[in-house]
Amino acid sequence: METLILLRDYFSTAVYTGKCLVFISEDWRVELTEHKDTDFSKGAEQASVIRVRLFKKALNEEFVSGHYEDFQLENIGELAEQIEKYVQMAIGTNLREAIE
């Protein structure tokens, strides 16, 4: 969860639930969850996997799960930039504008 806490500082509009980071707008919901590799046979500790899940609001006002992508980058700044770029491309608008 350390990586999510660092990402929370980068994405000021996100809400940290203790389990995931959530961005929500009128039409979209974006969830970031952290997954650690529990294979202790590997030598050096690898960066956590951050899964980005996108949900679009359906006609019945429920958020429907769309696609997701996993990110595993060591540098937190680069990780945040790539996540932001991915979400912008997927929803077709600037992430910060969509959430405000």
pLDDT-above-70 percentage for the chain: 84
Residue 99 has pLDDT above 60, yes or no: no
Give the confidence band of 95 by pLDDT, cuts at 50, 70, 90: low
Residue 43 has pLDDT above 70, yes or no: no
pLDDT at 30: 94
Q: How far apart are CA 58 and CA 39, in angstroms?
A: 39
Tokens 């969830």 correspond to 31
Give the confidence band of 39 by pLDDT, cuts at 50, 70, 90: low
CA nearest 46: which of 21, 18, 11, 71? 71
pLDDT at 33: 96
- Report the first-to-last Cα separation within the chain, whole angstroms: 25
Q: Is pLDDT larger for residue 38 or for residue 56?
A: 56
